[in-house]
A and B are shown apart, each in its own frame.
Chain A
Amino acid sequence: MINSVGKNQLNKIILRIFLYLILSVFVIYYLLPLFVMITTSLKSLEEIRTGSLIALPRNITFEAWGTAWSTACTGIRCEGLKPFFWNSIFIAIPAVIISTLIGAINGYVIAQWRFKGANIIFALMLFGCFIPFQVILLPMARVLGLIDLAGSISGLIFVHVIYGIGFTTLFFRNYYVSIPVELVKAAKIDGATFLRIFWSIFLPLSLPITVVTVIWQFTQIWNDFLFGVSFSEAGTQPITVALNNIVNSTTGVKEYNVDMAAAIIAAMPTLLVYIFAGKYFIRGLTAGSVKG
């Protein structure tokens, strides 16, 4: 009896060790690329050629980071990622703010002021979230030309706002739909108007879902490549396009350390957002019972 309990105990411990071992293997799988990126970016080209991919750098040098930031060549220009980093900032910030605001008021209308046809509009928006953007690339390129936004930062902001509305509306609608309709009724009887109710009652309630929407939109827009490569020109490209140009530029010696430093720079903002605000994202998603 005692023996069999001991054996069970032993089995359990072996199982636990096995479990943690497997989970560690996955940790290595997911972290290895990041590890390699960081170590490679800190090595000299010489060390990269002679050393091992997974070895720690012998002599840490930040030279590649400097090159990636300010002198690496993206095609003909050799100003590093810096101008493109700012391009992405100037695209992402207005686009995130505008699309989030529009989503908030849309969600408020659809969830709380239901009128005939509101559900159809919502369904149309929802389907719009899922289209492959290839199907709108050609006409959008022409329309941007027609309204004189072709190749401009404003043009990219416009495109990101238009195709972000579907998701931002979805987020806010699903959050507001869980708020009892009595709240609007009570406020109506109190004499508040449509906009007053939104401003005084719903907006103050919306922090969790705003966090979710802002993180989502920022990640989408910062990481976008398709719109960037299709609708920008040499001076207005976002950072993802510039990174791709650095990595795939065929002139000169291949500088792997610079490529990796550039990749980390391009990844940094969304990575930081994920690390520091990721838990609010998950919390906000569950707060509004977005699951449906």
Chain B
Amino acid sequence: MSSILNIKNVNKNFGKISVLNDININIDKGDFLVLVGPSGCGKSTLLNCIAGLEKINSGDIFIDNKNMSDIAPKDRDIAMVFQSYALYPTMTVEKNITFGMKVRGLSDEIQQKKLIEVSRQLQIETLLKRKPGQLSGGQRQRVAMGRALVRNPKLFLFDEPLSNLDAKLRVEMRTEIKRLHYDLGASMVYVTHDQIEAMTLATKIVVMKNGFIQQIGTPEEIYNHPANIFVADFMGSPAMNLIHAQTKKEKDNYKINIKLANGEVASLTEKRKLKLPKDIIIGIRPENITENGSKNKQNAQVITSNVDIVEPAGSDTYVVTKLGETEVTARFHSETKVKIGSKIDFLLDLEKASYFNPSSGKRI
């Protein structure tokens, strides 16, 4: 596979404030890269830098192996879909879609051919004569995508394209974008603050915070092997449980001691070949804490604790208890009846647990 976008040692600052620090990313043709992180992490700035709408202070950006660092946006062979859609308000849908081709001097026949092709693909044929003001949010979104699609660029850029839609439409459009990616085999860079969007769409995720890359990986890697506490906490909903614990080395394995709410200490055994320090933070996702007897797991161990809150959520029930002085969420089957205040057994699947260094936050 050949590289379509290669970002090398990119730095960017606004005055004295540094917004991107030594960014290095490389993706292949056909990849769907998602930049995700909380607001202000620099993900949108990075996208604008890729588009050429912001100048970078140092480093290089290659698109299809061509150094684009000083090239104007129009010559980068990219297309972009904006959060606010940025449709030209006085032009009809048709003119919005063909404007880029017209500016570039393509013949009318080609323009019409592409317009028909794309409007069919996005099912907006009936809207072509309307103006953006007469469209619903979802329709505007489609037109914005159409404007990008007709260009048939090397790289598609999406800047939080779904965040102005209501929840139901957002899920629909998410599927649509995924289908488009599959159908076109196109390369895409997609910015979002929504970790579910990131997980569902990406072939590769970059998690960012304060202008630094926290982790790059496939959705599975990010989800199952978060590089640090920030990534662990940010990706996944409900968030990964982060429990303070002490370890004690025994001959083949580690004893992991977790403080319970009543002051007693529960002890678990980590059988994997690991090297753990004395103080650790255990990261364990809610689906890996279940009711006793639910499944046969290799490394499952029981802790008995008080039920503080029960949150039924349709297919699952989230049960909250207190371990290691933090609230811990467990995911039970909805059929399991649990009473608030009762003492029950929780089954922890340590095979799926991650361990973090409490002082550095890094994965062990």
Contacts and interface: CB of A to CB of B under 8 A. Distances in A.
Interface of A: 180, 182-183, 185-192, 196, 200-201, 204-205
Given A186-B87, A201-B88, 12 more contacts: A183-B86, A185-B73, A185-B86, A187-B88, A189-B51, A189-B53, A190-B74, A190-B99, A190-B100, A192-B103, A201-B90, A205-B89
B34 to A, nearest CB: 20
Given A182-B82, A182-B83, A185-B51, A190 B90 contact: no
A39 B211 CA distance: 75
Contacts of A187: 88, 99
B90 A189 contact: no
Nearest to B153: A189
Nearest to B98: A190
Interface residues of B, number: 25
Interface in B83-142: 83-91, 99-100, 103-104
A288 to B, nearest CB: 13
Given A196-B103, A200-B99, A205-B90, A189 B74 contact: yes
A191 B90 contact: no
B84 A190 contact: no
A121 B256 CA distance: 66
A185 B90 contact: no
Given A182-B84, A182-B86, A189 B79 contact: yes
B12 interface: no
B147 interface: yes
B33 interface: no
B74 A191 contact: yes
B216 interface: no
Nearest to B104: A191
A204 B88 CA distance: 10
Contacts of B80: 185-186, 189
Interface of B: 48, 51, 53, 72-74, 78-80, 82-91, 99-100, 103-104, 147, 151
Contacts of A191: 74, 100, 103-104
A130 B264 CA distance: 77
Nearest to A180: B84
18 contacts: A180-B86, A182-B83, A182-B85, A185-B51, A186-B86, A187-B99, A188-B72, A188-B73, A189-B51, A189-B73, A189-B74, A189-B80, A189-B100, A191-B74, A192-B103, A200-B88, A200-B91, A201-B88
B103 A186 contact: no
A183 B84 CA distance: 9
Nearest to B75: A191
A186 B85 CA distance: 9
Given A192-B103, A204-B90, A185 B74 contact: no
A10 B86 CA distance: 57
Nearest to B74: A191
Contacts of A196: 103
Nearest to A203: B90
A185 B82 contact: yes
Contacts of A188: 53, 72-74
B103 A183 contact: no
Contacts of A192: 74, 99-100, 103
Nearest to B72: A188
A201 B95 CA distance: 11
Contacts of A185: 48, 51, 53, 73, 80, 82, 86
A189 B84 contact: no
A160 to B, nearest CB: 30
Contacts of A201: 88, 90-91
A182 B160 CA distance: 13
A192 B88 CA distance: 12
A196 B73 CA distance: 15
A43 B89 CA distance: 55
Q: Which 5 A-B pairs have the closest CB atoms?
A: A190-B100, A182-B86, A204-B90, A191-B74, A186-B86
Contacts of B151: 190
A174 B84 CA distance: 20
B312 to A, nearest CB: 42
A191 B48 CA distance: 16
Contacts of B86: 180, 182-183, 185-186
